[in-house]
Amino acid sequence: MLVLKKNEICVKNKQANCFAFSEYAYDPATGEARLSYDIDGRVLHEKITFPWAPWPVDASRQAAFFRALELLHLVAGISYYKACLAARIDTGESKIDGVMSGFLNELYLKGLGEFAHVNQLDLTELIDFEPAAEEVVEVADLSNETGGSQFSISYQVDLPARALVAMGGGKDSLVCLQTLRDAGVEVQPVCVGGSSLIGDTVKAAGLPLIRIRRELSPELTGMNASGAWNGHVPVTAINSAILLCAGLLYGYRYIVFANESSASEATLKDSQGREVNHQYSKSLEFEQGFVTVVNQHVSPDIEYFSLLRPFSEVAITRQFSDMTEFHEVFSSCNRNFHQDGSHIKTRWCKDCPKCRFAALALAPFLSPQELLVIQAADLLDEEKQLQGFKALCGLGEHKPFECVGSISESRAAMKFLTGDPGWQGKYVVRELAGFAEIQQAGELELKPDFKTPHCIPAEVLVRLNAV
């Protein structure tokens, strides 16, 4: 494994000397944000467009928005930093404090954990966001601003108690959306990107969709084509920062995602015993860190949280199994969702960890025929899928690098199927029925546990009858 270190002469031609956060800007007339980065003098520009976004009339919301935009600039930089893995990081005009420094170090190190593992890199001695000398935290309005370092002030803002809900086209975000609607919370679906499938699911919900456009720098594509380091980045972290900006522009107090409990489970442990989690930016650890940064450096009046954190994936699919109006339009297959558009012609590729886990999680609540209508395949009865299902159940080397449920709930679902007359004869179920890990698995967790750690605000819990 190649160990990359801070302030060391570059060990590979593709490692840069300095990665700098050069500037960020926003044009209220066009709704376009511009984020710029510098890699050894090579400047890369990213554009993010917020359609029909009104510019807030009050100064506090304007100021909070630019704090949020600065945070977005720092978070989105991970897409470009990973291409060069520079020996030095320069945050430019953003003079970060200890809280922000700690958050960014964790995000870049753990958010790039899968990338580093796959590329056989060790980044532990490399990533270093250094805090500025002063660390003062104030909550201010513009009539009583006390000054201080760039990240020393958060702003009080007045936002209506309504929810901007991140949509991904799959079952989780639909359950999240419906749960909020049933609780009487005003909701607005939002997505980042141009997926038509997300549009179809939101249309089926009878709601309008805000579609935010993110355009990565074309220079990054050129760098990748020339052999720059490439791989997984924590997209949910970037989308979280984008939606934070959107909430301030459009006027939403709640920024809501649909990340569940199993997202906190590590995908594997590396040779040094360190956890590598494909879903780090969907984990509770990231969520708590992001909440702290938002409260201290943007506004304490914005609530960022995952509504489904107290749920297991199986509990979510139990609810979704009754939402039949969405069964023919949703998809959990990630090959639908790429920066350059869908990589498949149908909603399911029928041969990936996401497709397999969707089948496994839904099967306890649907008949084989009902699941066949959804996926147009009977994955649990295909011999070629056996190794993939073994990996989901922790019977292989490690969980897949994908957003799938925990090993324990996969085993519980498989155990349930071995006793279900409708499923126990399927090839995969028969083959796995004899494994001790399946036979000794626990029961399906069908209800949320609101006593476990989460960030859901008290007023939302009341609406959910969860207190």
The pLDDT tens digits of the residues spanning 308-338 come to: 999 999 999 999 999 999 999 998 887 655 4
Beta partners for 139?
A: 154
337: in domain: no
The answer on 184 and 295 residing in a single domain is yes
**Are the C-beta atoms of residues 101 and 132 closer than 8 Å to each other?**
no
pLDDT band at 10 (very low <50, low <70, confident <90, very high): low
299: in domain: yes
The rounded percent of the chain whose pLDDT value lies above 90 is 81
- Of 62-66, 127-131, 193-197, 198-202, the range with the lowest mean pLDDT is 193-197
Res. 20: pLDDT tops 70: yes
The answer on 132 and 196 residing in a single domain is yes
Radius of gyration of the chain (CA): 22
**Are the C-beta atoms of residues 180 and 307 closer than 8 Å to each other?**
yes
The answer on 229 and 83 residing in a single domain is yes
**Are the C-beta atoms of residues 186 and 162 closer than 8 Å to each other?**
yes
**Average pLDDT score over residue span 5-22:** 77
**Are the C-beta atoms of residues 157 and 301 closer than 8 Å to each other?**
yes
> What's the rounded Cα separation, in Å, for the pair 20 and 150?
17
Last residue of a domain, which of 253, 281, 306?
A: 306
The answer on 74 and 218 residing in a single domain is yes
Q: Which residues contact 131 (CB under 8 A, 6 or more apart)?
A: 96, 97, 98, 100, 101
Work out the angle at residue 283's Cα, subtended by the Cα atoms of residues 328 and 319, and round it to the nearest 5 degrees.
35
What is the largest distance, in Å, between two alpha-carbon atoms of the chain? 71
> What's the rounded Cα separation, in Å, for the pair 57 and 42?
37
CA-closest candidate to residue 411, choices 425, 432, 383: 432
**Average pLDDT score over residue span 19-29:** 97
DSSP structure class, residue 81: H
Last residue of a domain, which of 279, 306, 333?
A: 306
What are the distances in angstroms from CA 264 to CA 144, 270, 282, 297?
Answer: 40, 16, 7, 25
143: in domain: no
Q: How many domains does the chain have?
A: 2
DSSP letter string over 309-327? TT--HHHHHHHHHT-GGGT
The pLDDT tens digits of the residues spanning 207-241 come to: 999 999 999 999 999 999 899 999 999 999 999 99
41: in domain: yes
The answer on 203 and 85 residing in a single domain is yes
pLDDT band at 110 (very low <50, low <70, confident <90, very high): very high
DSSP letter string over 403-457? S---HHHHHHHHHHHHT-TTTTTSHHHHHHTT-HHHHT------S--TTS-----
Task: Note the pLDDT of residue 242.
Answer: 98
CA-closest candidate to residue 67, choices 165, 8, 138, 119: 138
> What's the rounded Cα separation, in Å, for the pair 329 and 366?
17
311: in domain: no
| Phi and psi, residue 381, nearest 5° | -115, 20
Task: Note the pLDDT of residue 5.
Answer: 76
358: in domain: yes
The answer on 32 and 107 residing in a single domain is yes
Beta-strand ranges (E) seen in 113-225 are: 121-122, 138-140, 153-155, 163-166, 187-192, 210-215
Beta partners for 25?
A: 34
Res. 347: pLDDT tops 90: no
Helices (H), 113-216: 113-118, 171-182, 196-204
What are the distances in angstroms from CA 183 to CA 111, 196, 337?
Answer: 33, 28, 29
The answer on 372 and 223 residing in a single domain is no
Task: Note the pLDDT of residue 3.
Answer: 77
pLDDT band at 194 (very low <50, low <70, confident <90, very high): confident
Which residue range is the domain that position 410 belongs to?
349-439
The answer on 421 and 287 residing in a single domain is no
CA-closest candidate to residue 372, choices 348, 401, 388: 348
330: in domain: no
The answer on 268 and 376 residing in a single domain is no
- Report the half-sphere exposure of 168 (CA within 13 A, side-chain side): 22
**By CB neighbour count within 10 A (0-12 exposed, 13-18 middle, 19+ buried), where does 48 fall?**
buried
Average pLDDT, the chain: 91
The answer on 194 and 122 residing in a single domain is yes
CA-closest candidate to residue 46, choices 192, 216, 241: 216
End-to-end C-alpha distance for the chain, whole angstroms:
49
451: in domain: no
Last residue of a domain, which of 254, 277, 306?
A: 306
pLDDT band at 339 (very low <50, low <70, confident <90, very high): low
The answer on 355 and 299 residing in a single domain is no
The answer on 159 and 101 residing in a single domain is yes
User: Tell me, what amino acid is at 359?
Assistant: A
The pLDDT tens digits of the residues spanning 137-168 come to: 555 555 333 333 445 589 999 999 999 999 99
